Chain A
């Protein structure tokens, strides 16, 4: 029954990233789709599944699959769109794997594009249903994640300089990535002197806002072997959610991340000790600390001290976000985390290559604290 190693990531592609004048969510998605076809050597007619995430600037919203499919001139056997923010990329790749295993499609392109930088974006809205949290001035993704960081600091003594370790690591890795948007290295002191956004978060705790598109092509492990690139196997998959922002006492601690990681480990038959490199969703620096705890690299409340001394940098015990992450590579809502995981396991990442990387944990989380997923990718 397990999907372990039945499917593989055969192709990855990305558009230009950063500030792309004149781009639209559609043009960026198309650019990424073409790049992914080039990467794996497939023709567009061989794509029989299309799963998409509407950009925040996509006027068609959840009808994005229709808009993109028409633009690409493909009539898939299987399609749809999903909006879970940073939890979408992993959820769609996992859905693609399930659809392929179920015989609903053979080759699924998962695609995202958003002109968030140039075209306006929605990340600063207030949450809340019947009564908006904006009544109390509670706005933005930064607000929710700051609530999480503040309580973690109060309960466990986590400090701002621990958050700085995450920002410094991501920036160092971005400096080694020619495609990254923010490439000038930063120090812990520069983090500590950057202005507050939502305290305890400073500017350098926050992800970028970027224009860009990403495409990930999934097919069966067997078919992937005949394509251009060395297949990267999807060895384990897991998801976890909470819908209860105020109703779940542990909402701030995102315990569903632990469920997602444990499911992925169990399917792959591995544990945290087997992970060579990790791409951990970083909408804010704090999120990486939470993932380190939930993925079992350290205990509850221990992630602050865990990251001290450059431990998650490229030459540390556990290299994390080796392309720079949402904080410094580009804010593609976690889509590029899967791309980087794939590239690390293919080898050939140049200066930022983790030597001998065979197993990568990739995680995603969306709607700030609600939607989590994890995948174990393995080299073939």
Chain B
């Protein structure tokens, strides 16, 4: 979580017209992605057209936030100075139940206690007043 005493120094999204709906949703505690208005494909990363059918009609639909750990790594090397105090920290590729995959972090658990295939659910980490980063925790009752 953001430390009020120190400004958040890790990379933040640059909010544009293209990604604003994603980041406005996460600030409300919702995971939303673009669903194609023509073929129904849910896409990520954010893109101007559907990569399946090239339609530019899309709606930002709310996703369940549920998924599984598709792959999982632990960074020991510090590639960005703001992560120095976090290392070793994890990065997971999460497979969402609606189809898309994204990179994120598994929080609330020791790095060694996460495995590929674990069910996870989204949580939202308000690192600044403007930005809440979607992360994941191990799903309850798994």
Contacts and interface: CB of A to CB of B under 8 A. Distances in A.
Contacts of A44: none
Interface string B1-39: 000000000111100101100100000000000000000
Given A137-B86, A139-B75, A143-B91, 17 more contacts: A126-B80, A130-B16, A130-B19, A130-B46, A131-B22, A133-B103, A143-B73, A146-B73, A150-B73, A155-B116, A195-B76, A196-B74, A196-B76, A199-B74, A200-B73, A246-B44, A246-B100
Contacts of B89: 137
Interface string A155-193: 100000000000000000000000000000000000000
A140 B73 contact: no
A281 interface: no
Interface of A: 124, 126, 128-140, 142-143, 146-148, 150-151, 154-155, 195-200, 244, 246-247, 249, 252
Chain B interface helix/strand/loop/mixed: loop
Contacts of B47: 130
A135 B115 contact: no
Contacts of B70: 151
Nearest to B133: A135
B18 A137 contact: no
Given A129-B45, A143-B75, A244-B51, A196 B91 contact: no
Contact of B102 (A132, A139, A246, A249): A246
Interface string B82-123: 010010110101000000111111000000000111000000
A137 B91 contact: yes
Contact of B88 (A131, A199, A247): A199
A197 B43 CA distance: 31
B64 interface: no
B11 A135 contact: yes
Given A131-B46, A132-B11, A154 B93 contact: no
A195 B87 CA distance: 13
Contacts of B22: 131
Nearest to A195: B76
